[in-house]
Amino acid sequence: MENAKLNLGNMVIELPLVTGTMGEQAIDITNLRKDSGFITLDSGYQNTGSCKSAITYIDGEKGILKYRGVNIEELASKARFTEVAYFLVNGKFPDNGERLEFSQQLTENSMLHEDMIKFFHSVPPTAHPMSILSTMVNAMSIFYPQYFVDENDGEVFKLMASRLISKIRTIAAFSYKRSIGEPLVYPRHDLPYVGNFLNMMFDSPVKPYESDPDMERLLNMILILHADHEQNCSTSTVRLVGSSLVNLYSSVCAGICALWGPLHGGANQEVIEMLERIRNENLSIKTVLERAKDKNSNFKLSGFGHRVYRNFDPRMKILKQEAQSFLGNRKLDDPLMNIALELEAAALKDDYFVERKLYPNVDFYSGILYREMGFPTEMFTVLFAIGRMPGWIAQWKEMHDSVPFKIGRPRQIYTGPTEAHYPG
Q: Which is nearer to ligand SDX, 172 or 292 (CB)?
A: 292
Q: Taking CB under 6 A as the rule, does residue 306 contact ligand SDX?
A: yes
Residues 86, 157, 304, 326: which binds ligand SDX (CB under 6 A)? Answer: 304
CA-nearest of 204, 175, 238 to 381 is 175
- Residue number closest to ligand SDX, CB atom: 305
Task: Report d(CA 397, CA 67) in Å as an integer.
Answer: 16
Question: CA 262, CA 269: separation in Å to the nearest integer?
Answer: 8
Shortest Å, Cβ 38 to ligand SDX: 25
Residue 17, SS3 per DSSP: strand
Closest CB to ligand SDX among residues 106, 258 = 258
Q: Is 305 in the site for ligand SDX (CB under 6 A)?
A: yes
Alpha carbon distance, N-terminus to C-terminus of the chain: 60
Is 292 near ligand SDX (CB under 6 A)?
yes
In this structure, are residues 387 and 79 in contact, taking their beta carbons and an 8 Å threshold? no
Q: Which of 361, 366, 381, 395 binds ligand SDX (CB under 6 A)?
A: 361
Is residue 255 involved in binding ligand SDX (CB under 6 A)?
Answer: no
39/34 Cα distance (integer angstroms): 9
Helices (H), 93-128: 96-108, 114-120
Q: Does 310 bind ligand SDX (CB under 6 A)?
A: no
Q: How far, in Å, CA of 127 to CA of 208, rounded?
A: 26
Minimum distance from residue 84 beta carbon to ligand SDX (Å): 14
Is 363 part of the annotated catalytic residue set? yes
Active-site residue flag, 229: no
| Beta carbon nearer to ligand SDX, 292 or 393 | 292
Report if residue 267 touches ligand SDX, rule: CB under 6 A.
yes
Contact string 202-231 vs ligand SDX (x = CB under 6 A): ---------------------------x--
* Annotated catalytic residue within 363, 400, 401, 421: 363
Read off φ and ψ for residue 198, nearest 5 degrees. Answer: -65, -35
Catalytic residue among 228, 306, 313, 400: 306
Report the residue number, 26 or 117, with the smaller CB distance to ligand SDX. Answer: 26
DSSP code string of 185-217: ----SSS-HHHHHHHHHH-BTTBPPPP-HHHHH
For ligand SDX, the closer of residues 305 and 390 by Cβ is: 305
Binding-site string for ligand SDX from residue 32 to residue 51, where x marks contact by CB under 6 A and - marks none:
------------x-------
For residue 263, state whether it binds ligand SDX (rule: CB under 6 A).
yes
Dihedral of CA atoms 225, 226, 230, 234 in degrees, nearest 10, equals 170
CA angle 369, 375, 379 (to 5 degrees): 105
Furthest CA-CA distance within the chain:
80
Pick the piece of the chain touching ligand SDX (CB under 6 A) from 66-74, 86-94, 123-131, 259-267: 259-267
116 in Cβ contact with 175 (< 8 Å): no
Helix or strand or coil: residue 361? coil
Residue number, 303 or 390, with CB nearest to ligand SDX: 303
Helix (H, G, I), strand (E, B) or coil at 138: helix
Binding site for ligand SDX (CB under 6 A): 44, 229, 232, 263-265, 267, 292, 300-308, 356, 358, 361-363
Active centre residues (catalytic): 306, 363
